[in-house]
Amino acid sequence: MNNLWAPWRGEYINAKKDGACFLCDAPQKRSSEELKTELVLFKGAVTSVIMNKFPYNSGHLLISPVRHIAKIEELTPEESIDLFRILRHTTAAITMAFNPEGFNIGINLGRAAGAGIEEHMHMHVVPRWNGDSNFMPLLTEVKVIPEHLQETFEKLKPFFERI
């Protein structure tokens, strides 16, 4: 039997599930060390960028309004504009850091659409490379992420300090 190590999964499994919204809570951390632990790359006045702790690929980021809302139609004009401004910056940052060959960008609204967090809308930005869907996820239902989350954080963080 082969072992596939994913140490950050243990953090998720052992974490207290208190019903809090991490998309609201993580950007409110004060110290740079807390923000690093929570994988917060950017916290703006109306928008934040957080790394997905359980990514589909290295560099899988979540962009969300700071305000706790569930539906697109609840966005203010300022939030709508800022989400796409940050999306544009995010794809540029990921491109400079990882040189992907494409992106999947999506918003899942509601449980029927696959939303894991129904009550706080957010965009997924997933960098893609030709061949990244190889035999592992197809045959074994295992996705290999080639670098630790903190290493990915360190590569991306400088790009978000310039916003």
Tokens of 121: 């809308």
Tokens of 148: 């630790």
Among the listed residues 89, 122, 124, 148, the single catalytic one is 122
Q: What is the pLDDT of residue 128?
A: 94
Q: Is the pLDDT of residue 96 over 80?
A: yes
Q: Is the pLDDT of residue 9 over 90?
A: no
Burial category of 11 from C-beta neighbours within 10 Å (exposed 0-12, middle 13-18, buried 19 and up):
exposed
Distance CA 107, CA 92 (A): 19
The residue that leads in pLDDT, 95 or 142, is 95
Distance CA 94, CA 159 (A): 9
Distance CA 157, CA 124 (A): 17
Q: Measure Cα distances from 145 to 8, 17, 32, 75, 138 in Å.
A: 11, 25, 25, 33, 15
Q: Is the pLDDT of residue 4 over 80?
A: no
Examine the residue annotation and report whether 122 is marked as an active-site residue of this protein.
Answer: yes
Written as one letter, the residue type at 75 is L
Give per-residue pLDDT as tens, 56-84: 889 999 999 999 999 999 999 999 999 99
Q: What is the pLDDT of residue 125?
A: 97
Q: What is the pLDDT of residue 139?
A: 47
Mean pLDDT, rounded, for 19-38: 88
Q: Is the pLDDT of residue 20 over 80?
A: yes
Domains and CATH numbers, the chain: 21-160 (3.30.428.10)
Distance CA 63, CA 84 (A): 9
Mean pLDDT, rounded, for 42-52: 96
Nearest CA-CA partner of 95 in 136, 145, 63, 129:
129
Give per-residue pLDDT as tens, 108-154: 988 888 888 889 999 999 999 987 765 445 444 556 677 889 999 99
Q: Decide: 35 and 22 in contact? Cβ < 8 Å.
A: no
Give ∠ CA 157-114-14 in degrees, rounded to 5: 60
Strand partners, 131: none
